[in-house]
A = this chain, B = another copy of it.
Amino acid sequence: MSKALRIIPIGGLGEIGKNMLVIAYDRDAIIIDTGMMFPENDMLGIDYIIPDYQFLLDEELNVRGIFLTHGHEDHVGAITHVLEAFPGTPVYGTRLTIGFVEVKLRQARLLDKTELRIFEAGDTLQAGPFSVETFHQTHSIPDCVGFGINTPEGLIVHTGDFKFDYTPIDGWPPDFGKIAEFSQRGVLALLSDSTNAVREGWTPSETTLDDGFERVFKAAKGRIIVATFASHLSRIQQIMQAAIRHNRKIAVTGYSMVENIKMATQLGYLKPPADLMIPIDQIDSLPASKVVILSTGTQGEPSAGLSRLAQGRHRQLDIRSGDTVVMSAHVIPGNEELVSRTINRLFQRGANVSYYPIDNIHVSGHASAEELKLMLNLVRPKYFIPVHGELRHLIRHGQLAEGSGIPSENIAVVENGVVVEFENGKMRLGERMPGRYMFVDGSGVGDIGPSVLRDREILARDGFVMVVVTLDADTGELIAEPEIITRGFVYLPEAEELFEEARDRIRDVVAETDTRMSAKKRREKIEAALKHVFQQETKRRPMIFSHINLV
């Protein structure tokens, strides 16, 4: 084992170092973030995806702590899996972040077994050979931090997810003082959020949306239904403020939205006046012009509040002509079709729909190019490692860094699993770890691989056909009608003719084959004949199986 300092981004699909990042020195390591991702559209049946942290176990590293930058799912969603692999590891986070984590641990019955350590931005934390200085950042969820990690090789600054919001909703701007102080002390390497590196200019402040909401609230004559991310507490606070200004009450629908608002109110991150919130079943006691409904479902997720409303399948609500629906979120790539469908269905039911980017009701939580240059100039690192984003975003971020004066040989654009090593103040690329991420499907973690996915793909495309053929053990003659079971291949009520032909072909094959032929060989012949019939008649290629009974 090398004595070098090692930085290893892991997990994520296209994105690098977002779900998890490991900083290791000798036999000690810390983990920054433990996030999950949702599968892409062609990862059939997969529930979600978590980072592949197997190498930490293989190397028997001593994980000294899990440090969380903020409470979003792509940064904390895999916490229970990671804690099962590294039981007893202390988890560090700000109060709100730990609030989100507690919910997960309780559900997984891990709360009692876990050491949760709440810190305040500005605190310094010790973890083995690392001394971690925390600093406040602004993003699209409150109580975000970045880290200044003092290591035996030097100071590593990790921005976490951020944008420079000078006028955040909670009035708490980024800790420029701390960031600048790091540069005074000398920064070995900066790891910075690349999500919006390809976007020119500056990302607008959250407060710039006040105008957009004001316009919507002024124009709306009926109810206002706002969908946003359940974790976007500052957006929720903004909507509360607009509701108060316009003398409307707020009802909440969607499990995660209800739970998050409850938790954030308890912790003091939301402070709704006593009479602002009303139960969802009481909205009809108020005039439509006095009602705001907060909902989940910005991504068109079929089971979320807004999709159920759009399809007329919501238990407690329905969309009425005159409702105004505000979709205050961006579309996560891959969800475009679902979101378009939801918007069109809402229009169909008579709602007026405001959506991003058509209306000014959402801004990104990530820094654009000019902010990234500001961060580079504030920190003035010797080495630069862009993280959080797809490879194309990291490459652009690297170009921004080069333009900001960092020599190209001091910039490491790497993919998940690639080790960046520092020794004696010099950076080099190390080995590549095997894993990138693991599929979680039901209770299985990492057991679904390419071969199962390939089978699911074939089944999804053309279904399957199974035939059971019963033969006389002595004569080899068919002694019953071949039985056919099929799903996903053809519409059965209209396919009787096709299967009659299939049975004929089976009869032909059985009649032609020698009784001494092995069962395997006979099955192959039957399956080949069926494949031919189905291909010819339908131009489809279902999976075909056969079973032969000898009676």
Contact = CB atoms under 8 A, between A and B. Distances in A.
Interface of A: 14, 40-42, 44-45, 198, 333-334, 336-337, 340-341, 343-344, 347-348, 353, 358, 390-392, 395, 415, 441-444, 447-449, 451-452, 455-464, 466, 468, 470, 483, 485, 487-491, 494-495, 537-540, 543, 545, 547, 549, 551
A266 to B, nearest CB: 31
A187 to B, nearest CB: 27
B455 A347 contact: no
A341 B14 contact: yes
11 contacts: A14-B344, A44-B461, A333-B337, A340-B390, A447-B490, A447-B491, A449-B491, A452-B463, A452-B491, A457-B460, A466-B545
Nearest to A489: B452
Nearest to A390: B344
Given A459-B463, A547-B483, A444 B348 contact: no
Q: What 9 A-B pairs come out closest when comparing CB atoms?
A: A442-B539, A460-B460, A459-B459, A45-B461, A442-B540, A456-B488, A443-B539, A455-B488, A41-B41
A455 B492 CA distance: 12
A311 to B, nearest CB: 14
A355 to B, nearest CB: 8
A468 B549 CA distance: 10
A169 B459 CA distance: 46
B456 A460 contact: yes
A490 B547 contact: no
Contacts of A41: 41-42, 337
A305 to B, nearest CB: 20
Oligomer: number of copies: 2
B459 A464 contact: yes
A491 B441 CA distance: 12
A537 B441 CA distance: 12
Nearest to A543: B487
Nearest to A199: B358
Given A447-B494, A456-B460, A551-B551, A334 B333 contact: no
Q: Is the interface of A mostly helix, strand, loop or mixed?
A: mixed
B549 A470 contact: yes
A91 to B, nearest CB: 25
Nearest to A41: B41
A462 B439 CA distance: 13
A56 to B, nearest CB: 22
Nearest to A457: B460
B537 A45 contact: no
Contacts of A340: 14, 333, 390, 392
A492 to B, nearest CB: 8
A418 to B, nearest CB: 12
Nearest to A355: B392
Contacts of A14: 340-341, 344
B545 A485 contact: yes
Contacts of A198: 358
A391 to B, nearest CB: 4
A459 B442 contact: no
Contacts of A487: 455-456, 458-459, 464, 543
A359 to B, nearest CB: 10
Contacts of A491: 447-449, 451-452
A449 B487 CA distance: 13
B343 A452 contact: no
A45 B456 CA distance: 11
A198 to B, nearest CB: 5
A485 B455 CA distance: 13
Nearest to A352: B395
A50 to B, nearest CB: 15
B452 A45 contact: no
A36 B549 CA distance: 46
A348 B488 CA distance: 38
A444 to B, nearest CB: 6
Contacts of A545: 466, 485
A451 B347 CA distance: 27
Given A333-B337, A344-B391, A488 B468 contact: no
Contact of A459 (B336, B348, B460): B460
Contacts of A395: 347
